Amino acid sequence: MANMPALTIVATPGRRQKMIDLAVEAEERGFKGIYVPSLSALMPFCQALLSATKKIWVGTAIQPIYVQHPRELAATAAFLHEMSEGRFRMGLGVSHAPVYDRLNLNVGKPLSDMRDYVAGMRAQEDVGELPPIILATLRNKMLTMSGEIAQGAIWANGARSYVPGQLAATGVTPGDDFFVSNMQPTVVDEDRDAAGAVHKRTLTGYLMLPNYRNYWREAGYADGIDRVEASLAAEDGAFLPDLMSDDWLSDVTLYGSADYIRDEVQKSLDHGITPILVPSSTSGGMSKGIREVFDVFA
């Protein structure tokens, strides 16, 4: 169906087969793709999803470049691309400082490191044809580079009011040869306050990250970022969930009634941007959230 979004599905330990079954159902229902975040067994889970499905796109959203050598990732990506007959998208990103610290990684400059990594993957001529490469982006420099060296760009928690202007400013154009997407935390519930509270808990960790704060400041939420940074400076992080305004939260997540979710998805699609819904629920976890999203687009 032309008006369908894509979905995020996580390889939750102990529930992986159930999540694969949900992906198969998502394909049957006409969703545009399944995109897997770097939380658990990312590449093997993509392989399992591609084996279980027949026509839906499957991609990483995203594979951090600092945790695997470009040759090894190129070989795996080329294998998935070939075996799926072209249904795999390789989403790459630089991840975040807390990940580097946890894994004791020494990293360089994100833009030059990403350019070098993509070049390193493409230099592996003996692995076979690579899939489309999609770059995780927030700000315009990475978006511009995605238009130069990749076949797509993917935001996570991108401001829906701001992303179309970023595309226009950088001259990056969505189309059949360039995939543009935005991962949006999604809760379906008529009780917007309850749904918003779920998102506030989810986004608290992102508020701790300077690159997200800088992006959201550029997107028009400087006053809110000032409050967040004052709270962080005062070591009052417990109050972070209360510092996002309704306008800000509504711009970077989706929550509310089925009609509202459908309308907002269509607005993004009208701009050539594929929403990748990241489901959760006021009464359960991701599996329950996926079921509720299924109902929205039944």
Instruction: Enter the DSSP assignment of 1.
Output: -
Q: Tell me phi and psi for residue 82, to 5 degrees.
A: -70, -45
Q: What pLDDT score does 239 carry?
A: 82
Q: What pLDDT score does 1 carry?
A: 56
Q: Among 40, 50, 60, 57, which Cα is nearest to 20's?
A: 50
Q: What pLDDT score does 236 carry?
A: 79
Instruction: Enter the DSSP assignment of 67.
Output: G
Specify the pairing of strand 63-64 against strand 33-36. Answer: unpaired
C-alpha torsion angle, residues 202, 41, 274, 268 (rounded to 10): 0
Q: What pLDDT score does 3 carry?
A: 86
For residue 220, give both structure tokens: 């028009």
Q: If DSSP states are collapsed to H, E and C, what string results for 160-181?
A: CCCHHHHHHHHCCCCECCEEEE
Block residue for tokens 């970077």? 252
- For residue range 222-231, what is the model confidence (pLDDT) as tens digits? 999 999 999 9
Annotate 88-118 with DSSP letters as a single string: EEEEEE---HHHHHHHT-----HHHHHHHHH
Rounded to whole angstroms, how far apart are CA atoms 168 and 157? 19
Q: Which positions ≥6 away from 226 have C-beta within 8 Å?
A: none
C-alpha torsion angle, residues 213, 274, 245, 199 (rounded to 10): -90
Specify the pTM: 0.96
For residue 35, give both structure tokens: 């995109």
Q: How far apart are the first and last CA of the chain?
A: 11
Would you call the peptide bond into 261 cis, given omega within 30 degrees of 0 as the criterion?
no
**In what helix (H) or strand (E) does residue 187 lie, and over which residues does it extend?**
strand 179-188
Rounded to whole angstroms, how far apart are CA atoms 24 and 10? 14
Q: What pLDDT score does 107 carry?
A: 80
Instruction: Enter the DSSP assignment of 159.
Output: -
* pLDDT lower than 50: segments of the chain: none
CATH fold of 6-194+252-296, please? TIM Barrel (3.20.20)
Label residue 234 exposed, middle or buried (CB < 10 Å: 0-12, 13-18, 19+). exposed
Confirm if 202 and 280 have CB atoms less than 8 A apart.
yes
For residue 43, give both structure tokens: 């590449």
- For residue range 1-17, what is the model confidence (pLDDT) as tens digits? 568 999 999 988 999 99
